[in-house]
């Protein structure tokens, strides 16, 4: 089963800014999106629910320093991308 990635206008702006600031991570970023679409539960993504003010969101790892936050709707088979960046930016 594949999931539909939903790219909001706000997320697209953030992602564009992220890739401009970190061109060396573009390949890893795109690989993360592909894996997320195919199998969001893949162990290397480290999918986990967030707590506190972000309690309705989840996070996946691009690498040790960078994350993508997302809204994960299993019933609709959709993944709505929210933010991308380092730990401080997305949390």
Distance CA 85, CA 34 (A): 17
How high is the pLDDT of residue 26? 96
Positive/negative CA dihedral, 30, 69, 9, 78: positive
Q: What is the pLDDT of residues 4-50, one digit of tens each?
A: 999 999 999 999 999 999 999 999 999 999 999 999 999 999 999 99
Domain ranges across the chain: 4-86
How high is the pLDDT of residue 85? 92
How high is the pLDDT of residue 32? 96
Name the band, by pLDDT with cuts 50, 70 and 90, for residue 76.
confident
CATH of 4-86, one of 3.30.70.2190, 3.40.50.150, 3.30.2310.20, 3.40.50.300: 3.30.2310.20
Specify which residues 4 forms β-bridges with: 78
Positive/negative CA dihedral, 71, 28, 18, 16: negative
**Could you count the other beta carbons within 10 Å of the beta carbon of residue 22?**
17
Q: Is the pLDDT of residue 75 over 90?
A: no
């Amino acid at each position: 089963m594949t999931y539909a990635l939903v790219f909001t206008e706000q997320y697209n702006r953030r992602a564009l800014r992220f890739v401009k600031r970190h061109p060396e991570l573009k390949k890893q970023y795109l690989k993360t999106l592909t894996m997320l679409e195919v199998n969001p539960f893949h162990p290397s993504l480290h999918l986990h629910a967030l707590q506190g003010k972000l309690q309705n969101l989840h996070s996946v790892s691009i690498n040790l320093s960078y994350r993508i936050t997302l809204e994960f709707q299993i019933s609709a088979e959709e993944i709505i991308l929210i933010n991308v960046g380092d730990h401080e930016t997305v949390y």
